[in-house]
Amino acid sequence: MTDIVIYHNPACGTSRNVLELIRNSGVEPHVIEYLKTPPSRALLVEMIDRAHMTPRDLLREKGTPYADLGLGNTALTDDALVDAMMAHPVLINRPLVVTPFGVKLCRPSEAVLDILPGAQRGAFAKEDGEQVIDASGNRVR
């Protein structure tokens, strides 16, 4: 069985869609509700690096204290941005998915298809009705 981890927020539609796309590949992932159980600082830095991102790339602005904390200031160091994410996990954008094929911030949700080891097993539509996978398990677009 393939080990896949999703850093998930069940209140987020994109995160829910990614979780279901993973399940549609025949894998039950390890689900970590990162607002309840945030990653350690070392793990967060490692995932950012493995995803070929910067801490700024992973920052979430909408619905967070981003503006109040002045995180738009481009003079802030990567360490300062990671410190902010550790203090306020809601600043970590989601869903972040870890598979044997890499680490990826899966926005839009179908981005997860690039790092899943298995094929989709059937049709899949996002919560908004957008068809992503056809009945044969093929990507629609």
Cα–Cα distance for residue pair 120/91, rounded to 1 Å:
31
Tokens coding 56: 């700024």
Which residue is catalytic, options 4, 6, 9, 12?
12
Looking up tokens 């700024």 gives 56
12 included as an active-site residue: yes
Distances (CA, A) of 65 to 35, 62, 139: 14, 8, 36
Catalytic residue annotation: 12
